[in-house]
Chain A
Amino acid sequence: MKQYFRWVLKVLTVFDWPLLALLILMAGLGLVIMHSAVGGTDWRFASQVRNYSLAFIALWFVAAVPPKYWLKLAPALYVVGVLLLVAVEFFGETSKGATRWLDLGVIRIQPSEMLKLTVPMMLAWYFQQLEAKRMRLLDLLAAIILLAIPFVLIVRQPDLGTALLVLLSGFFVIYFAGLSFRLLVPLGVVMAVGLGTMVYFETDICQPEVDWVVMHEYQKNRVCTLLNPSSDPLGKGFHTIQSMIAIGSGGVYGKGYMEGTQAHLDFVPERTTDFIFAVYAEEFGLYGGVMLLVLFALFIVRGLFISARATTQFGRLLAGALSMTFFVYVFVNIGMVTGILPVVGVPLPFMSYGGTALLTLGIACGLLMSINHYRQPSQAR
């Protein structure tokens, strides 16, 4: 009896309670707003409950495994992920012009989703190996190559959105590992100036005759729609305008739960997936929106805190990178729904409908908890 009790206690202690509390709060809000977004109970609501359960089981399992095993597994997972991407290139299923899925007979998988986790794991593994040594330019190059292989493979699918997210998750590892600010700051300045120029010259560069060379026509259209959404109210700008109306009309206090006219009258596009925040902000207003943002921020801060407390370089880098990737998801999604970023198809963590994204999130949170739980007592050197 006592033994049994101890086992339960042990399994329960793997949780990081602040993180779990935040998770439960967000999942709860997610289900509440999903209920409203689908307009009452229907199969998507039940299915989302199942997705949460699956994600939670994955979280628990991953959290219970000490990080040293994840460290050992990282290169293998990375290689498998890259091989699957190569397999997609040759045997993948093509739908809507992009080849992203791989049919394994039993299940259909999307390997690029897996890479969102294995890439930061692999890079963290790489810098862990370098721990005792001096770092050279060569190491940076090696890290960049490890990052570039999956990136190029995903870009070729083509899936620029996912590729950029994978690239960012890897970039954060390199950043935490010590990429010089002397390199970072100019990069940031160049990008800011580039964006500024684009906004300034919008009317010229968005002419149909102008070819942007580096981007597909549809990608150019997305950026141009962002710069001037009213230029195409039926087409590309439709999503942005409708979600802005929904959010704005929510006002400070919101229209009340299940009372959002824009969402319920079908004006908000993709209201259960990418644009669920518009439904949320319409019904719960500025208060609700800020509250959700605070929850997200606390979650990220907790993640960074776990990173700071981690005792291994692997744990530090991975926890930091995962937290920042989570931040990018939140920022890009809400940015696009509120009309300050282009429509790129990034789901809102814990809120948007979708099993795969939730599973990935669950595993990521599991990794954070595993890193936090299995800390070694700090060794003095």
Chain B
Amino acid sequence: MFEFKKTSHEQKRKVWLRLWVAGIFVVVCFFLLVGRLWYLQVERYEGLAARADENRIAVVPIPPRRGEILDRNGAVLARNYRDYTLEVIPAEVSDLKAMLNTLSQLVYISPTSQKRFLQRVNQSSRYARVMLRNNLNETEAAWFAAHAYKFPGVTLNARWVREYPHGSSAAHVLGYVGRISEQDLERLERDGQLGNYRGTHNIGKKGIEKTWEHVLHGQTGVEEVEVTATGRPVRTLRRTDPVPGSDLILSLDLGLQQLVEKEFQGKRGALVAIEPETGEVLAFVSAPSFDPNLFIDGIDVDNWRMLNESEDHPLINRPLYGTYPIGSTYKPFVALAALELGVRDAKTKIYDPGYFELGRQRFRNAGSIAYGQTDMYRALVKSSDTYFYSLGPEIGVNALHDFSKQFGFGQYTGIDLDGERRGILPSTDWKEKAFRKPEQQRWYAGETVSVAVGQGYNSFTLLQLAQATAVLASKGVYMTPHLVNLVRNSQTGLLKKTVTEPSHVVDLKPENIEVIENALAGVVNEGTARVAFDGAPYQAAGKTGTAQVFSLRGAEYKSSQLDERLRDHALFMAYAPTVKPRIAVALIVENGGWGSTVAAPIARKVFDYWLKADTNTTLAEVNP
């Protein structure tokens, strides 16, 4: 590869040759550059000079109007309003303090926003626009426009601002928009979207605002403006209008949503209601909530700390992110598994002495009540743990895993929100992967027993329970749960449905479903939920539950509140009516105590609201 060199002299000669070659290469390349300059400045001079010198065209981006978010009846959940702001380019201001002094005598700028402004100037590039004041009224804007020449580097801008008129209502669904961060910029560059975001300040940060960002944002327009030598616009030469973002029509019903939010006032918990036939999410509540309007121009420190350090964790999206052992609400699915897998007949009776023995281990019923001879119906209605304890080893943890998986337990449901957690649907494979030490990786028979009553390693999101309930109600048809039901094109007004086909169908025998449904109707008619559903004009089917472990990550307890916070979670899953179910619900009241007294009454109110003909609306015909 290398040419041989023996002496320094020879070496020197070799290098000389190479220096000549390099020198010639350099000269050739420079001629290339000179040629290019010639091409631009002589050949294309007239064209380019026409674009630059005579017309002085400024390419100005026109940010599109962000799509609105509406509920299923057309109530506006997120909209935009016009706002005037003062923005500063620090590099073009010689003395920031002096400018602030003069300006604040004429336009009111509060001391805190002055402080925040100076902070932001220090944090950002000197060429970046930094907002000094927003929400200028018409008079202030007009006044500044007349005096703008005194303040070089300060510009008056009009912008669209996002607004959530219902405040904390459905905040976890909507999410919020916020300033475009460096990470956002990087992602936009990767996706080739950077150009489309010129002139745009905010981007979806959470919730639907984030997952549907690509649809909501729209296409930025361009205006080629002729400007004078001082940069003042004279006339518009060419304009490509921005394409406003599409509107999103949610499947959510604001009335239902707010009814549930009222029920959860002062409580912690979550509720998800789904229409089984379509997968449309009718209500999606996480309590307590927060006001997304706080985030739009960057949240201030006090509010942020209040939200972030509250032990109620209002920012956490509970249905999506909180995972719980769902207790007895899991039993209908275990019973169905037993029937489908042919493990136990519905009529077979088990003697329940109040406990179940496996080897020398004894598993007790809640409250240690003995139910005596118990068949499947009685076991579900009375919520006999023993009956299901004994089912556990008969089905086997892996068979139960494979069956429950089809209902979405321990799986991502595929809902159109980000930050969904998967939870844990235990199996021997899972345990082997989850633990490191061999003795921990082993699956113990006793663990199958707890898993069969929804305890043990089971850890599901409330959304999964709601979805599984919906799948059960629709006799095995799995429609992906979704919040955005229709996308309305802002220009043509055409509506496009997001989910039309089931993602899969669970193979179930109708007679087995009937057994479970009868038992769940029994729970409502004569079992644990009978008080809550007394006198209901429709037949509901449901199951109460109680979960013993609190598993929101990062939760800390204060000793003064230890008792209240260590109470059991109250759960309820139900659907109604049993003939052609129109709504499936799952809910949890954290530390609420008994499912029958705390959780079931909320579901009753939800059903009453939804099944009353005059409040229930169907969606407009969908355009193809």
Q: Point out residues on A near B: beta carbons under 8 Å.
A: 42, 44, 95-97, 131, 134-137, 139-140, 172, 175-180, 183, 208, 216-218, 221, 232-236, 238, 242, 244-252, 255, 261-262, 265-267, 281, 285-286, 289-290, 293, 296-297, 300-301, 304, 307-308, 313, 316-317, 320, 323-324, 327, 331, 334-335, 338-340, 379, 381
Residues of B within 8 A of A313 (CB): 8, 11
Interface of B is mostly: helix
Given contact pairs A96-B186, A217-B192, A300-B26, A234 touches B41 in the complex (Cβ within 8 A): no
A232 contacts B186, CB within 8 Å? no
* A176-B19, A177-B2, A247-B48 known, 18 other contacts, Cβ within 8 Å: A96-B186, A135-B2, A135-B4, A176-B18, A178-B2, A183-B1, A232-B192, A234-B61, A234-B222, A245-B48, A248-B48, A249-B49, A252-B41, A265-B229, A265-B231, A308-B19, A338-B40, A381-B7
Residues of B within 8 A of A381 (CB): 7-9
B190 contacts A217, CB within 8 Å? yes
Inter-chain CA distance A339–B4, complex, in Å, is 42
Q: Does B14 contact A (CB under 8 A)?
A: yes
Supply 11 A–B pairs (Cβ within 8 Å), ascending by A: A135-B3, A234-B59, A247-B41, A249-B48, A261-B229, A290-B37, A300-B26, A304-B22, A320-B22, A323-B22, A335-B36
B37 contacts A286, CB within 8 Å? yes
Between B14, B16, B26, B182, the greatest number of chain A beta carbons within 10 A of the residue's beta carbon is seen for B26
A136 contacts B19, CB within 8 Å? no
Q: Does B557 contact A (CB under 8 A)?
A: no
B18 contacts A175, CB within 8 Å? yes
**Stretch of B27-35, B415-423, B594-602 with 4 or more beta carbons under 8 angstroms from chain A:** B27-35
Please encode chain B, from 55 to 71, with 1 for each CB lying within 8 Å of some chain A CB and 0 for all others. 01011010000000000
Inter-chain CA distance A67–B1, complex, in Å, is 29
Residues of B within 8 A of A307 (CB): 15, 19
Residues of A within 8 A of B32 (CB): 340
A251 contacts B186, CB within 8 Å? no
The residue in chain A whose Cβ has the minimal distance to the Cβ of B229 is: A261
Inter-chain CA distance A223–B48, complex, in Å, is 23
Q: Does B12 contact A (CB under 8 A)?
A: yes
Residues of B within 8 A of A95 (CB): 182
Given contact pairs A96-B182, A267-B58, A252 touches B42 in the complex (Cβ within 8 A): yes
Please encode chain B, from 158 to 188, with 1 for each CB lying within 8 Å of some chain A CB and 0 for all others. 0000000000000000000000001101100
Residues of B within 8 A of A304 (CB): 19, 22-23, 26
Q: Does B94 contact A (CB under 8 A)?
A: yes
A289 contacts B18, CB within 8 Å? no
Taking the closest CB of chain A, its distance from the CB of B210, in whole angstroms, is 19
Q: Does B311 contact A (CB under 8 A)?
A: no
B190 contacts A255, CB within 8 Å? no
Taking the closest CB of chain A, its distance from the CB of B487, in whole angstroms, is 21
B29 contacts A331, CB within 8 Å? yes
Inter-chain CA distance A331–B59, complex, in Å, is 28
A297 contacts B1, CB within 8 Å? no
Given contact pairs A176-B18, A218-B189, A248-B40, A266 touches B2 in the complex (Cβ within 8 A): no
Inter-chain CA distance A335–B53, complex, in Å, is 23
Cross-interface CB contact of B45 among A134, A208, A248, cutoff 8 Å: A248
Inter-chain CA distance A134–B1, complex, in Å, is 12
Given contact pairs A234-B220, A249-B49, A266-B231, A297 touches B27 in the complex (Cβ within 8 A): yes
B8 contacts A285, CB within 8 Å? no
Q: Does B145 contact A (CB under 8 A)?
A: no
A338 contacts B36, CB within 8 Å? yes
Residues of B within 8 A of A339 (CB): 36, 40
Taking the closest CB of chain B, its distance from the CB of A293, in whole angstroms, is 6
B52 contacts A218, CB within 8 Å? no
A140 contacts B1, CB within 8 Å? yes
Please encode chain B, from 212 to 243, with 1 for each CB lying within 8 Å of some chain A CB and 0 for all others. 00000000101000010101000000000000
The size bracket of the interface on B is 35 or more
Taking the closest CB of chain A, its distance from the CB of B195, in whole angstroms, is 2
Inter-chain CA distance A291–B4, complex, in Å, is 41
B186 contacts A238, CB within 8 Å? no
Residues of A within 8 A of B195 (CB): 232-236, 238
B191 contacts A217, CB within 8 Å? yes
B23 contacts A221, CB within 8 Å? no
Taking the closest CB of chain B, its distance from the CB of A186, in whole angstroms, is 13
Residues of A within 8 A of B12 (CB): 316
Inter-chain CA distance A282–B98, complex, in Å, is 35
Residues of A within 8 A of B182 (CB): 95-97
Q: Does B383 contact A (CB under 8 A)?
A: no
Between B3, B5, B11, the greatest number of chain A beta carbons within 10 A of the residue's beta carbon is seen for B5
Q: Does B196 contact A (CB under 8 A)?
A: yes
A180 contacts B3, CB within 8 Å? yes
The residue in chain B whose Cβ has the minimal distance to the Cβ of A253 is: B41
Inter-chain CA distance A297–B189, complex, in Å, is 36
Given contact pairs A208-B192, A235-B192, A238-B59, A247 touches B2 in the complex (Cβ within 8 A): no
Taking the closest CB of chain A, its distance from the CB of B128, in whole angstroms, is 13
A247 contacts B37, CB within 8 Å? yes
Inter-chain CA distance A238–B40, complex, in Å, is 17
Inter-chain CA distance A56–B519, complex, in Å, is 90
Given contact pairs A297-B27, A338-B33, A338-B37, A324 touches B22 in the complex (Cβ within 8 A): yes
Residues of A within 8 A of B222 (CB): 233-234
Please encode chain B, from 107 to 128, with 1 for each CB lying within 8 Å of some chain A CB and 0 for all others. 0000000000000000000000
Q: Does B51 contact A (CB under 8 A)?
A: yes
The residue in chain B whose Cβ has the minimal distance to the Cβ of A247 is: B40
A285 contacts B41, CB within 8 Å? yes
Cross-interface CB contact of B41 among A134, A248, A297, A308, cutoff 8 Å: A248
Taking the closest CB of chain B, its distance from the CB of A263, in whole angstroms, is 10
Residues of A within 8 A of B61 (CB): 234
Residues of A within 8 A of B6 (CB): 134
B190 contacts A136, CB within 8 Å? no
Inter-chain CA distance A236–B196, complex, in Å, is 10
Inter-chain CA distance A281–B49, complex, in Å, is 13
A255 contacts B11, CB within 8 Å? no
A293 contacts B42, CB within 8 Å? no
Taking the closest CB of chain A, its distance from the CB of B179, in whole angstroms, is 16
A42 contacts B15, CB within 8 Å? no
Q: Does B438 contact A (CB under 8 A)?
A: no
B227 contacts A131, CB within 8 Å? no
A251 contacts B41, CB within 8 Å? yes
Given contact pairs A245-B51, A248-B48, A286-B41, A131 touches B2 in the complex (Cβ within 8 A): no
Q: Does B44 contact A (CB under 8 A)?
A: yes
B30 contacts A233, CB within 8 Å? no
Q: Does B497 contact A (CB under 8 A)?
A: no
The residue in chain A whose Cβ has the minimal distance to the Cβ of B6 is: A134
Inter-chain CA distance A300–B27, complex, in Å, is 10
B15 contacts A316, CB within 8 Å? yes
Taking the closest CB of chain A, its distance from the CB of B562, in whole angstroms, is 41
Q: Does B359 contact A (CB under 8 A)?
A: no
A178 contacts B192, CB within 8 Å? no
Taking the closest CB of chain A, its distance from the CB of B175, in whole angstroms, is 24
Residues of B within 8 A of A177 (CB): 2
Taking the closest CB of chain A, its distance from the CB of B161, in whole angstroms, is 22
B94 contacts A42, CB within 8 Å? yes
The residue in chain A whose Cβ has the minimal distance to the Cβ of B37 is: A289
Cross-interface CB contact of A176 among B15, B42, B53, B229, cutoff 8 Å: B15
Inter-chain CA distance A233–B196, complex, in Å, is 10
> Which parts of B434-471 form the interface with A (CB within 8 Å)?
none
Q: Does B194 contact A (CB under 8 A)?
A: yes
Given contact pairs A42-B94, A218-B189, A235-B195, A335 touches B33 in the complex (Cβ within 8 A): yes
Cross-interface CB contact of B37 among A172, A178, A232, A281, cutoff 8 Å: A281
The residue in chain A whose Cβ has the minimal distance to the Cβ of B18 is: A176
A248 contacts B47, CB within 8 Å? yes
The residue in chain B whose Cβ has the minimal distance to the Cβ of A208 is: B192
Taking the closest CB of chain B, its distance from the CB of A268, in whole angstroms, is 10
The residue in chain B whose Cβ has the minimal distance to the Cβ of A96 is: B182
Taking the closest CB of chain B, its distance from the CB of A35, in whole angstroms, is 15
Between A95, A178, A300, A320, the greatest number of chain B beta carbons within 10 A of the residue's beta carbon is seen for A178
Q: Does B198 contact A (CB under 8 A)?
A: yes
